[in-house]
Structure 1
Amino acid sequence: MINYLLRLAFVGTNFSGWQVQPKERTVQGVLQEALSKIFNEEIKVIGCCRTDAGVHALDYVANFKAKKDFPEEKLLLALNGILPKDIGVYEVRKVSPEFNARYSVKGKVYLYKIWNSEVRNPFLYPFTWQVKKGINFELLKRTLELVRGEHDFRAFAKLEEEKNTVINLEEVSLKREGKLIEIRLRASHFLRYMVRRIVGTAVKIALGVYEPSLMEELLKGKGKAPYTAPPQGLHLEKVIL
């Protein structure tokens, strides 16, 4: 069996997330269907993580094993020829049999985009959370600085699916260009809903909806994150191998 690594990007708008679900259009499902046709055998694809419905990926790593030894460049062209327009594969590579996209990656970078304006930007609307009320950027920055480093993020997770909720957030950075705010977070791994709940809570604090002390309380394990930012603003920006 040959082990193939794929790097791909996808627009999550019309997908019910990464993972195969009955009667739902998913990235994993579409990819497996395309590969099964190309290889003329049933292919099971392993992804580096799950993404929720509507979440995008600028960089996503997956792998699969197949009997046929397919030239990498030909497979790259074949995949991009058969896949729908909202998925693009930009690298195919044969790797060692031990490589597993779920367990072999060393880290991930997530990017969350906010369009802070009352006026809709139709070119950014599918890829941002539009927040119409003015965000206190300095308060947002101070609030997000609190989550940098090692913390127990159980207050931001879907707990029934998580065993270890202690994570070291190695990077938390903010950038603002005009009305566009970008938030980046880097860690070895993330809990489900973690980024969206951190961002959602921090933004609501910066809007004056919640007290600034709320983030510290949540990091101490007191309560549950009260707001989850919408999925379309979230992008898996980089997978670190």
Structure 2
Amino acid sequence: MRKIRLTVSYDGTDFSGFQIQPNRRTVQGVLQDALAKLTKAPVHVVGAGRTDAGVHAYGQVVHFETDSRIPVDKWPLALNAVLPPDIVVREAQEVDRAFHARYSATGKTYVYRVDNRRYPDVLARRYAYHVPHALDVERMRAAARHLLGRHDFTSFCSAKTTVKGDRIRHLRRADIVVRGQDIWFCFAADGFLYNMVRILVGTLLEVGQGMRDPEAIPAILAARDRAAAGKTAPPHGLVLWSVSYGDDAHNPVDFASIF
């Protein structure tokens, strides 16, 4: 058996998330169906992360095992020929048996796009959260600096999470970049909790609107209470940008190239 690693992009709009679910269209399910069609055998796909319904990916990583002899450099072409247009395989590698898309990962980078125009950009409606209110970017950047480092992010984790143990994560990057009337939030960490990025964005947007003080962030972290943080931003602005495995640094984010 061979183990193949794929880098996959997808538009999450018409998926009920990554993880396979009965009678639902999911990224995992569509990938498994495509692989079964090519290999003529059932194939189990393992992803680096379980993106929610409506969340997109530029650099999701998955692995699967197969006894197919398709050359590794032919997998993207073969899969893209049978996949629907909202999933694209960008790269394939044959990896060591010890590799695991989820457990071998050393970090992830997410980006979140906010359309800050007075009226929404109709062409961005599937990929950006429209916030028509004036946003103070410098206040949001000041708040984001308090998030950097190792913290217990319970306050920024959905109350529906199934994580019972350690909720400490090391947030390595919390950048806010303005491109025209778009505001991009970029977060890189060793791992993320359920809805963590969307809650971070929702809280920072409240800071940008003057509803919270930037200096309130340490107290929100210390509270370890979901009720202390802001609302959860909607899923369609979020993109899983890249997954790191220690042998590759987080890819630089070219915000203009995502969509």
8 Å CA contact 1:202–1:215 kept in 2: the answer is no
Deviations 1:72-91 (A, max 9, x none): 23322110000000000011
**2:162 is equivalent to residue 161 of structure 1:** yes
**2:77 is equivalent to residue 73 of structure 1:** no
**2:235 is equivalent to residue 234 of structure 1:** no
AA aligned opposite 1:179: Q
8 Å CA contact 1:169–1:187 kept in 2: the answer is yes
Aligned to 1:61: 61
1:222–1:41 distance in 2 versus 1, CA, 3 Å:
closer
8 Å CA contact 1:117–1:134 kept in 2: the answer is no
SS in 2 for 1:101: coil
SS in 2 for 1:161: coil
Q: How does 1:36-185 map to 2 (within 5 A)?
A: 36-158=36-158, 160-162=161-163, 163-185=165-187
SS in 1 for 2:99: coil
RMSD: 1.3
C-alpha displacement at 1:121, in angstroms?
1.0
Gaps of at least 5 residues in structure 2 are 246-259
8 Å CA contact 1:111–1:184 kept in 2: the answer is yes
8 Å CA contact 2:4–2:64 kept in 1: the answer is yes
SS in 2 for 1:111: strand
C-alpha displacement at 1:158, in angstroms?
3.1
Deviations 1:17-37 (A, max 9, x none): 100011111100000011011
SS in 1 for 2:92: strand
SS in 2 for 1:114: strand
SS in 1 for 2:197: helix
8 Å CA contact 1:129–1:230 kept in 2: the answer is yes
* Aligned counterparts of 1:139 and 1:91: Cα–Cα separation in 2: 39
Deviations 1:41-89 (A, max 9, x none): 1100000011011111011100000122221233221100000000000
Give the alignment's TM-score, normalised by structure 1.
Answer: 0.96
- Out of 193, 197, 220, the position equivalent to 1:191 is 193
8 Å CA contact 1:152–1:221 kept in 2: the answer is no
* Aligned counterparts of 1:18 and 1:229: Cα–Cα separation in 2: 19
SS in 2 for 1:220: helix
C-alpha displacement at 1:212, in angstroms?
4.2
Q: How many residues align structurally?
A: 241
AA aligned opposite 2:60: Y
* Aligned counterparts of 1:96 and 1:120: Cα–Cα separation in 2: 47
Aligned to 2:204: 202
Gaps of at least 5 residues in structure 1 are none
Give the alignment's TM-score, normalised by structure 2.
Answer: 0.89
* Aligned counterparts of 1:74 and 1:109: Cα–Cα separation in 2: 27
The range that moved more, 118-127 or 216-225, is 216-225
8 Å CA contact 2:55–2:237 kept in 1: the answer is yes
